[in-house]
Structure 1
Amino acid sequence: MGKMNWKASAVTAAVVTGLMGFAAHADEGESKQDKEQMKQGKAVGEAAAKRVQYVGKLAVFNNRQIKMARLAEQQATDPQVKEFATKLREDHEKSQDSLRTWAEQKKMQVSALSDSDITSEEQTGTGGSGVQEGYQEKMKGTGEKLGKAIDKTNEEMTRLQAKQGPEFDKAFLTRIAEDQKKGKDILKEGRKEYKNDAGFLALLSDTESVVASNETQAKELEKQLKK
């Protein structure tokens, strides 16, 4: 599970919906209207990039839980831990499927939704005056940041895989309880930012309920194993 050169890669994003309608004006003597269109276009591009970044972060979180759960399904010794791992995997696979369906409907492509380890070279958003500029500026460093998160997951997977028996079970539950807490923070961030998007908000709220439930279950199982 070696590290990748994330500086040469980024979350793939091709955002089409809502980015058209801004005509380009290249004349040296820009009018006040031209400047306003450029400003509005940049704002649209930045907003699109911010949404792509958020979806990518949530997708990486889902992939992390799926990978951890698969490892526990194979390596856990306690039957209850194995059963919990299966539930965790299924929950996050469902969450990822819902996120993928939503992104497809919005004409948004995010590589983390289709591949948990490899991201592609960054692509710009499409649109007219100012949109691409705003999008590109906002997306700078996104791939590297998410890539580092994937590297961290791979490193933790390697350490966890080296444990055996009850030691593995306890370490897995501790890791998942902490992850679910972080996941709730990510989802709360999204619910606050996109509170006016009913469809996306419903998706985030459903996922948040599942994450909270899994956090509680992981902590309860962890206590049982310590007895």
Structure 2
Amino acid sequence: MGKTNWKTRAVTAAVMTGLMGFAAHAQDDMSKQDKQSMEHGKAVGEAAGKRVQYVGKLAVFNNRQIQLARLAEEKASDPRVKEFATKLREDHEKSQESLRTWAQNKKMEVSALSDSNITSENQMGTGGSGVQQGYQEKMKGSGEKLGKAIDKTNEEVAKLQAKEGPEFDKAFLTRIAEDQKKGKEVLKEGRKEYKNDATFLALLSDTERVVSGNETQAKELEKQMKK
């Protein structure tokens, strides 16, 4: 039995050695121009994957605020908190719609921008082998990350849902103030990374102004609740 295994391993090793030699020969035959084209294509694909991941992160942030705001519209006991929740929802629905329109114009499919919570990985149209390879490598595990982000939002919603009255109001405002602060960091990241894309930069800047305003309002309301 041991000899058979040894023979199998020997044959496999010989085949693999032959294949590796063939691949090395094929690589040698690839022209310098072909190699450069492949590397450029991979860089383009990686950049596209990075952009899709960033847009997905921003879309998840918007969805999270919309869900929390809808809950507060139903459960908040203080009229000021209800009013703020409505403004928060409308702001992030507008931001999400702008992001969705921009993505559609770019022929970009981002699952987090769909009306339902889809956790599958985003797809990219066909392109050069280098482009597709770079994109697929960059997108590995993105579906799992998106699913975890959605699960975290659902957990936060469930926690808030268990609270009632003033306790709910305070917890909601605290949650939103913290979220808006994190959202500003995500937006700053995007403005730095995509500063050469005027349309996208304007979208991010508009959203950042709204997020900053909502963070300030949430903190102010939170202070008033403590008095």
Indicate the TM-score class for this superposition, using the shorter chain for normalisation: 0.7 to 0.9
SS of residue in 2 equivalent to 1:37: helix
SS of residue in 2 equivalent to 1:130: helix
Identity of aligned residues (%): 83
Give, in whole Å, the separation in 2 of the partners of 1:221 and 1:145: 33
Change (3 A) 1:68 1:116: farther
The structure whose Rg is larger is: 2
| Paired letter, 1:162 | A
Corresponding residue for residue 12 of structure 1: none
SS of residue in 1 equivalent to 2:29: coil
Once the two structures are TM-superposed, the CA of residue 27 in structure 1 deviates from its matched residue by: 7.8
TM-score w.r.t. structure 2 length?
A: 0.86
Give, in whole Å, the separation in 1 of the partners of 2:55 and 2:121: 17
Return the structure number with greater helix share.
Answer: 2
| Paired letter, 2:78 | D
State how 1:54-73 maps to structure 2 within 5 Å.
54-73=54-73
Corresponding residue for residue 48 of structure 2: 48
Question: 1:125·1:135 contact (CA, 8 Å) conserved in 2?
Answer: no
Once the two structures are TM-superposed, the CA of residue 123 in structure 1 deviates from its matched residue by: 2.9
Corresponding residue for residue 200 of structure 2: 200
Corresponding residue for residue 33 of structure 1: 33
Once the two structures are TM-superposed, the CA of residue 145 in structure 1 deviates from its matched residue by: 1.0
State how 1:1-12 maps to structure 2 within 5 Å.
none
Q: Which runs of 5+ in 1 are unaligned?
A: 1-25
Higher RCO structure (Cα 8 Å, ≥6 apart): 1
Does residue 224 of structure 2 align to residue 224 of structure 1? Answer: yes
Question: 1:125·1:131 contact (CA, 8 Å) conserved in 2?
Answer: no
Give, in whole Å, the separation in 1 of the partners of 2:214 and 2:194: 24
Once the two structures are TM-superposed, the CA of residue 143 in structure 1 deviates from its matched residue by: 1.1
| Paired letter, 2:97 | D
| Paired letter, 2:147 | G
Change (3 A) 1:137 1:125: farther
- The 10-residue stretch of structure 1 (210-219 or 142-151) with the greater mean CA deviation from structure 2: 142-151
| Paired letter, 1:31 | S
What is the root-mean-square deviation of aligned Cα atoms in Å?
Answer: 1.3
Corresponding residue for residue 97 of structure 2: 97
Number of residues of Structure 1 aligned to a counterpart in Structure 2: 202
Give, in whole Å, the separation in 2 of the partners of 1:129 and 1:111: 23
